[in-house]
Amino acid sequence: MKLQKNSLEWALNYLHKFGDTDLFPRPIEIDALKAIETDAINTFEKIDLGNYSFGSARRFIVPKDEISYRTATQLDIVDTIFLTAAIYEYGSLIENRRIQVGENKVFSYRFLPQANALYNQNITWVDFWNTCRRKAIDYDYIVCLDIADFYNQIYHHNIENQLIESQFPNQLKKWIISLLESITVKVSRGIPVGPHATHLLAEMSLIPIDKSMLLKGIDFCRYADDIIIFCEEYVQARIVINQIAEILDKQQRLVIQKQKTKIYKNAIKFREHCTQMIQDRPINENERRIIALIGAYAQNNPYARVNISKLSNKELQLFEKKILSRLYKNIL
């Protein structure tokens, strides 16, 4: 099986503009491939995925705060191009199976490829919390849940089943599973944290979870592994935690993160929590100006990427070494 030329072209151009991951600077190899784009694409479109050999991935420990961390992965750049092209070409098969956008339930990584984005930029983390804040007015109890170590706990067998359900070509399905296995060193679970395209694979793995919650009549909103449930009574809130724990365990052996599980017994306090999740709390005027600048370019989406080439010389002055050094010292 071979990927289409236009998919490979889109993938290379997208990665050249926005880098290969959410976490690391753009690798210089992308610039090199972009410089010989015609020859590179002509070579890539001739490659049969059945005969493809994966490159080496790099794994890093990335701090989240003072005591916690996540494991991030940077794929071989050619592997990244092929995975991105494959998701670009077939991602609609996954998106069509998800709960519809208009239901206002699932907000994360809604597949909608454009020249400047792989996902719908009009549905953001901010929209998620604003929707939760509005819905809370009508409920007395709200439950906040988080799936523990989500990306690293996704079973490859589940990914394979969902690719089949999404009607991915068989050879592409095998290629994706082989790529995941090459990264996890034959361990049968875990998908890379970092590459843009893997977000849709993670969302795909939760399609059965979302549908199970719907079937049980659970009123929820979800962004990635964060789940908010709206309840009329306290007993219902306690029951729904057990229901979701059972769904996660029986379907995929996933677990709820105990430390982040909370029942809000007052809608006012939950609405305050929603506001805090959206608002930034800068430590000084320089950080406030930086946050405002990034928010303006990213349309207040914390998951959006801002191309530094779009900034004016005056705006770039906010990122001078002396200013950033002072911010780091204040944080530490």
Tell me, what amino acid is at 322? K
Arithmetic mean of pLDDT, 28-51: 96
pLDDT, residue 307, reads: 77
pLDDT, residue 281, reads: 63
Mention every residue, 6+ apart, whose C-beta is less than 8 A from residue 168.
90, 93, 176
Say if residue 283's pLDDT is above 70. no
Residue 101, both tokens: 């956008």
Say if residue 332's pLDDT is above 70. no
226 in Cβ contact with 220 (< 8 Å): no
Arithmetic mean of pLDDT, 96-106: 97
Q: Band of the pLDDT at 303, cuts 50, 70, 90?
A: low
Mention every residue, 6+ apart, whose C-beta is less than 8 A from residue 199.
108, 109, 119, 224
pLDDT, residue 300, reads: 63
Of 147 and 67, which is predicted with more confidence? 147
